[in-house]
Amino acid sequence: MSAVLGVSTLSEVGWGAAWLPISWTLVLLAAVLLYVHATRRGKFLVWEDLLGELGLQGHERLLDLGCGRGAVLLAAARCLPQGRAVGVDLWRSVDQSGNAQNTTRRNARAEGVSDRVNLYTGDLRCLPFGDSEFDVVLSSLAIHNIKDARERRQAVVEAVRVLRPGGRLVLVDIGRSAAVYERALGSLPVIEAGIRSVGWRMWWGGPWLRTHVVTATRATP
């Protein structure tokens, strides 16, 4: 009797309605898995590729804007045995949990690159460096923390200012922020500016929240 009732109930509800909650569960599970992968592994794989594309010779002076705990900064430092990897941040935990200069220093020592890493406290909108000091300027998921679009553009202006002629710019960020950076570069002394998606490895839950990379080269006089 109960089996008959079960079949009857399923028939009344319909297969479509029965599968709807299952489908949503699968979508949510996929979103969680993509987010965890992007956080734990994907972003490191993406930056490994991006640093490889730069073709670093090992002697460059590189600046990481909003370096945080140093994931990208230290990966870059490993490519610079005779160079310098410089990180700048306001060290606010609201932007990243555990974001503190001492934490990044400990991470640099643990990675064996503390001898080639320098850390500074500074605002990305007004960098504490002179013009044309760096061969490479990069940033990972940091500039979007500046809420005002005009001030985000100012951070891009500063990034180009401290970049030497012929130096390379690599800005990785989420959502619409990267498009703001690309538009800002249109009025700055750069060449070969472009924007592209970095692919599913940095989907923050799905393709609706993708990560893009903006690249450019500082023009020579």
Residue 184 has pLDDT above 70, yes or no: yes
Q: Which residue has the higher pLDDT, 139 or 7?
A: 139
Confidence of residue 17 (pLDDT cuts 50, 70, 90): low
Confidence of residue 24 (pLDDT cuts 50, 70, 90): low
Residue 10 has what pLDDT? 45
Q: Which residue has the higher pLDDT, 29 or 61?
A: 61
Q: Which residue has the higher pLDDT, 86 or 6?
A: 86
Residue 76 has pLDDT above 80, yes or no: yes
First-to-last CA distance in the chain?
A: 87
pLDDT tens, position by position, 89-135:
999 877 666 789 999 999 999 999 999 999 999 999 999 999 999 99
Residue 4 has what pLDDT? 43
Confidence of residue 14 (pLDDT cuts 50, 70, 90): low
Give the global pTM: 0.85
Give the residue-averaged pLDDT of 8-16: 51
CATH of domain 38-218: 3.40.50.150
* For the ranges 6-20, 149-163, 200-214, the one whose mean pLDDT is highest: 149-163
Q: Which of 217, 39, 53, 56 is nearest to 141 (CA)?
A: 39
Confidence of residue 26 (pLDDT cuts 50, 70, 90): low
For 114, the token pair is: 């503390």
What is the secondary structure of the chain as a DSSP string?
A: -HHHHHHHHHHHH-HHHHHHHHHHHHHHHHHHHHHHHIIIIIHHHHHHHHHHHHT--S--EEEEET-TT-HHHHHHHTT-TTSEEEEEE---TTTSTT--HHHHHHHHHHHT-GGGEEEEE-BTTB-SS-TT-EEEEEEES-GGGS-SHHHHHHHHHHHHHTEEEEEEEEEEEETTHHHHHHHHHTTSSEEEEEEEE--GGG-SSSGGG-EEEEEEEEPP-
Confidence of residue 31 (pLDDT cuts 50, 70, 90): low
Residue 151 has pLDDT above 80, yes or no: yes
pLDDT tens, position by position, 140-150:
999 999 999 99
Percent of the chain predicted with pLDDT > 70: 85
Lowest mean pLDDT among 9-13, 103-107, 135-139, 167-171: 9-13
Residue 208 has what pLDDT? 84
- For the chain, the domains span 38-218
